[in-house]
Amino acid sequence: MLQALKNMFTGVDNMTWDIGRILWAKISVVYCAISGYHAIMHGTFDPQNWAIGASAILAGGGGALSLKAHTEPKNVDPAA
């Protein structure tokens, strides 16, 4: 489990922690938590507006990762 988390939150080399991926995950979790809190406390939930917000978060995170893709190491030696 820890290896899977490390692979998700590190760059191509699986050694360098990627702050963009970490923040993207934190924002996604907080968005779900705040949405759930609002639905429980106020009894309303609009799935269309929720999906629009979630897709904006996912697109923003994916866009940020693609913008910084040129900074990833190109030749990664898996044996190292």
Any residues with CB less than 8 A from the CB of 37 and at least 6 apart, and which?
Answer: none
pLDDT at 72: 78
**What is the rounded distance in angstroms from the CA atom of residue 27 to the CA atom of residue 42?**
22
Q: Residue 13 pLDDT more than 80?
A: yes
The pLDDT value given to residue 60? 94
pTM beyond 0.85: no
Higher pLDDT, 39 or 80: 39
pLDDT value of residue 79: 59
Compute the radius of gyration of the chain from its Cα atoms: 16
- Dump pLDDT digits (tens) for 28-78: 999 999 999 999 999 999 999 999 999 999 999 999 989 988 887 666 666
